[in-house]
Chain A
Amino acid sequence: MAAHFDTEYQRLEASYSDSPPGEENLLVHIPDGNKSPWHHIENLDLFFQRVYNLHQKNGFTCMLLGEVFELVQLLFVVGFTVFLANCVDYDILFANKLVNHTDSSKVTLPDAFLPMDVCSAHIRDNVAVMFVLVISGVFWLHRLIKFLYNVCCYWEIRSFYTNALKISMAELPYFTWQEVQARIVEIQKEHQICIHKKELTELDIYHRILRFKNYMVAMVNKSLLPVRFRPPLLGEIVFYTRGLKYNFELIFFWGPGSLFKSEWSLKPEYKRGGNRLELAEKLASRILWIGIANLVLCPVILVWQILYAFFSYTEVIKREPGSLGARCWSLYGRCYLRHFNELDHELMSRLSKGYKASSKYMNCFLSPLLTVVAKNVAFFAGSLLAVLIALTIYDEDVLAVEHVLSSITLLGVCITICRSFIPDKHLVYCPEQLLRVILAHIHYMPDHWQGNAHRYETRDQFSQLFQYKAVFILEELISPVVTPFILIFSLRRKSLEIIDFFRNFTVEVVGVGDTCSFAQMDVRQHGHPAWMSEGKTEASIYQQAEDGKTELSLMHFAITNPQWNPPTETTHFISQLKERVHREATGDAHTHTLTSLSESEPRSLIANFLTGPPSLASLHLGRHGSMTNHEPIGNSDGASALRSLSVNSMRGSYSSTHRSAGHTSSANRAMVGSGTDARTASSGSSAWEGQLTSLVLSEYASTEMSIHALYIHELHKQQSQGELSRHTWHRQDSDDSSDSVTEDRGAGGGNPSSRNPIPRSHTFPVSTPTSTPAPVSNSGPPPDRGATPGQEEAPVQTNSQHRCWANTVSVGSEGRGVRSARGPMGGWAEDGNQGRHPYTVPEEGSEDDTPPNIHKVT
């Protein structure tokens, strides 16, 4: 330490005296006290999740009432079912047995009830009924305790809303999440709910709420989870149920002995690469035990599942209006289509917007054979029905004849079913365009769907994302039986890959804890060169997120959270992309420039999907309700809306007042087409103005995102045209990349060049994008990337907020090697990859996915 002090401070000679405490000349302090209890919250993950939940459930009272009713409902359903099964004398009801009434001949309902003691004896004798009753009793108690616990917890959140955020419960349903979030960010400055930083960012909040979901999305994206199976006869199926998901989460995130120490940190031994084999073995044995436990508890889970399905099913309907239809987005689809850092309501609104188009698309594929049969069945059933009805009208005594009423009902049902197989005569389906519209909402789709929208393979694969609700329920019900086997036989084999995944893709972010590195949305670390991040990414094939997930997630997050300040590189990426889209929009919608000299620029892409296919713009902007004005707006309107949006958000004025003002004006400008809306937006009362603006904003954000998604896909398509795509529909598991896969690929087209000559079916008017310019990157040598020597350096995270522990600290030099491209362990064996062009890898499943050492653990 310093040996001598040369300061200018001098000792005061005269008046220095060491006075005892309690004297009045001492310094007097005023305590600031802890007026708010909201500083320094211990478990911020849970806290933010609850804040989000309460917002999604529209406030405390709504939530409370909903839960109470659910409890009552459960009691009612179980009680009523048991009563119907055991306490009703059906013989009396069906008049097979006579009741000896003295006063009248009428049979009353109470006559059909068995007396109390008989009834309870029935129940007691029946073991199965007792079993169900006990389980549902436990289930109900569990829910009751859960309910009471939640009431206590959420009461606190409620007071957080009212006292700290200054949002009363009555107003809460009219606040968007973005506004709530902005307030949270605001009060952090005052209360310091998170003690690591002075200021919270939107991304921090998202990371905390979605920590595990991001991991799941990333694992599905990298095809790590065993959800695709190839049972004999059935072809490839996706099996991903709630039970399976619960087990995955139990194993990875919170169960006993899971990989995570607490909600926010991975256990340190999993961050080190040293004993990965031991850890993998440990994980494998744990999976085995959980699998066995699942097997043993199978009957209990089955009953539980039925009860649970019943209740969550009603909840699903409440949450997702689209689910009233015959189809729903599968659980796998939700994982596959979800962006990183996308909250539930954002995903749901996106998918719901795509629902109509999707079901329309699925309806294109009515089998002509079935149609013929259905038409004829409907004809015969209809004539019978007509006769019966006519007779009834003539004399209603016909109804009294046995089974006439039931046959009328049955015939009616039969006709309804048949009608659903007969296509509407006056509708013309354009699967290719429908798929475009769907893409605008769901944002992800495998490459080979484009141009193949009319084929059955595409339809089948799409139906994995968008399944029949009946199939969904069926899968849920067989899940207790199948889950243990999946765990024991499929997941266990992947334990080493899982360990590697968590080690390689976990970063510690200050103030957030361990998160999935994909969720950082860093184009440099996880970008995919075929998806706009050419030249910017340093990721190896193992590190690249598939399907352009990093890029699209980044755009989505930046658009939904305009106040978010991304790190500079990312900002650069975003603004560059926005500028390109903007240029396309202005240049082409108005002047229709011809293909310009700069070949690399995919000119008229926007024009392609704004003007090219008839009324696509209006399709997706107007008809599907993604805009507030429901009249279809013209192409130029759409373009100008886009332009004003992107100009505005590029301006970079992030102060909130400025922002809202700017966006109001942009909204006004864009909505000139429908004057009324514009007027309400501008002349609304001051109290409503903010809310309205933010609602309008979120609508525009989703439109903007749709346009960007389409643009990115279009660009990607052009880029990969003529080249061998390394991209395949769902990277195959290492073990089932068998011959059947390649066969399927050949036909289904994982490979665009072999796909092109496929004769198009005549039944569907296929829209070939006529105005597409000649594929620009067709013959040119594919840009050299991926194998640059610069990649050997471990990516240095320049973002000052984040410390990348896995990269620099805890893993040390070894981890460095892993994270950089040529990881010796984990990842994909890429030996000899240096000279190989990534695009020439036709199937990564067979070569990339499986280093020999992964097969050691079985």
Chain B
Amino acid sequence: MNCRSEVLEVSVEGRQIDEAMLALVHTILLHRSTGKFHYKKEGTYSIGTVGTQDIDCDFIDFSFVRVSSDELDRVIRKAVGDFKDAMGNGTDGMGQISLEFYQKKKSRWPFSDECIPWEVWSIKVHVVNLANEQERQICREKVGEKLGEKVINIVEVINRHEYLPKMPTQSEVDNVFDTSLKDVQPYLYKITFQITDTLGTSVSTTMRRLIKDTLAL
């Protein structure tokens, strides 16, 4: 658990899910991305630029800034789309999307490489059902305000001087940054989601723990 965890909670209408999620995830990623590194011979590097782009939402009175990288956007959109599909349409529900930043650590032979998270953002979503158009209108504004607050929240958290992985050398850059995109370079991240509060951990983790514990001295 040697990692920070931040929890954001929003309640939105069914059709606002993906925009709200996109807004939050993109905001976090905007602050957790750098330009591409260009390593030079003497072990130094320079950082490329990152473009930004304003996005207006259709169902929420809100616009947010994201990294202008279509590739990144596509990946995020896909994850959020999956999440929305899993949530189902129009029903009351709870779901949680987590954005986890991690770094890889090379291990010696018998063990596989470890992915060690250092920051986890959990966004909890309540889906509400609204009866009529007037309520929808109010919701549209309120969700916009709420998202604004969350964005400020995120920026505050990110502004704190807290642990970040150290800037890597050329050989290690893959352990810290996601270098697969060609115009931007976010910290390694992972997006997972979970629909209801599933009780208990999965069987595999329990088994792993059991084995590990019997092996421990």
Contacts and interface: CB of A to CB of B under 8 A. Distances in A.
B110 A257 contact: no
B114 A42 contact: yes
A149 interface: yes
B217 A30 contact: no
B165 A40 contact: yes
Contact of B110 (A1, A33, A34, A152): A152
Contacts of A269: 197, 199
Interface size class of B (residues with CB under 8 A): 35 or more
B118 interface: yes
Interface stretch (A117-125, A258-266, A393-401, A693-701): A258-266
B134 interface: no
Interface in A38-89: 39-44, 46, 50, 53
A3 interface: no
Given A33-B167, A46-B216, A254-B209, A40 B44 contact: no
Interface stretch (A20-28, A217-225, A582-590, A660-668): A20-28
Nearest to B46: A26
Contacts of A30: 43-45
By DSSP majority rule, is chain B's interface helix, strand, loop, or mixed? Answer: loop
Given A31-B43, A33-B168, A195-B2, A40 B206 contact: no
Contacts of A256: 206, 210
A34 B47 contact: no
Given A256-B206, A513-B1, A21 B166 contact: no
A156 B44 CA distance: 30
Given A21-B38, A195-B118, A254-B209, A1 B43 contact: no
A41 B117 CA distance: 10
Contacts of A261: 201
B39 to A, nearest CB: 8
A378 interface: no
- Please indicate which of the listed interface residues A18, A53, A192 has the most CB atoms of chain B within 10 Å of its own CB: A192
Nearest to A30: B44
B166 A152 contact: no
A143 B6 CA distance: 41
Interface string B165-196: 11111101001000000000000000000000
Contact of B103 (A18, A40, A53, A265): A40
Given A42-B116, A145-B215, A195-B3, A29 B47 contact: yes
A505 B35 CA distance: 47
A264 B3 CA distance: 12
Contacts of B213: 254
B89 interface: no
A192 B114 contact: no
Given A33-B167, A34-B166, A1 B152 contact: yes
B4 interface: yes
Given A32-B166, A146-B214, A255-B210, A21 B2 contact: no
A43 B217 contact: no
Contact of A31 (B110, B168, B216): B168
Given A28-B44, A195-B2, A152 B217 contact: no
Interface string A236-272: 0000000000000000001111000111110111000
Interface in B85-125: 103, 105, 108, 110-111, 114, 116, 118
By DSSP majority rule, is chain A's interface helix, strand, loop, or mixed? Answer: loop
A22 B38 contact: yes
B40 interface: yes
Given A43-B2, A261-B201, A264-B1, A29 B48 contact: no
A604 to B, nearest CB: 50
B49 interface: yes
Contacts of B111: 152
Interface size class of A (residues with CB under 8 A): 35 or more
Contacts of A28: 40, 44-46
B217 A150 contact: yes
Nearest to A19: B49
B170 to A, nearest CB: 8
A145 B212 CA distance: 11
B162 interface: yes
Contacts of B105: 37, 42
A156 B109 CA distance: 12
A39 B108 contact: no
A33 B206 contact: no
Contacts of A11: none
Contacts of B1: 262-265, 513
B116 A40 contact: yes
Interface in A408-425: none
A762 interface: no
A630 interface: no
A437 interface: no
A18 B4 CA distance: 37
A21 B48 contact: yes
Contacts of B66: none
A33 B172 contact: yes
Nearest to A195: B163
A142 interface: yes
- Please indicate which of the listed interface residues B46, B103, B199, B201 has the most CB atoms of chain A within 10 Å of its own CB: B46
A256 B203 CA distance: 8
A44 B45 contact: no
A189 interface: no
B81 interface: no
Interface in A112-161: 142, 145-146, 149-150, 152, 155-156
Contact of B46 (A22, A146, A264): A22
Interface string A258-291: 0001111101110000000000000000000000
A53 B210 contact: no
- Please indicate which of the listed interface residues B2, B45, B47, B108 has the most CB atoms of chain A within 10 Å of its own CB: B2
Contacts of B116: 40-42
A150 B215 contact: yes
A297 to B, nearest CB: 15
A802 interface: no
8 contacts: A42-B116, A150-B216, A195-B2, A256-B206, A257-B206, A262-B1, A264-B1, A268-B197
Given A27-B47, A195-B2, 20 more contacts: A21-B46, A28-B40, A29-B44, A29-B167, A31-B44, A31-B45, A31-B170, A37-B105, A40-B103, A40-B116, A42-B105, A50-B217, A146-B214, A150-B215, A150-B216, A195-B118, A195-B163, A196-B4, A256-B206, A256-B210
Q: Which 9 A-B pairs have the closest CB atoms?
A: A195-B163, A21-B48, A33-B169, A42-B116, A264-B1, A31-B167, A26-B46, A149-B215, A256-B206
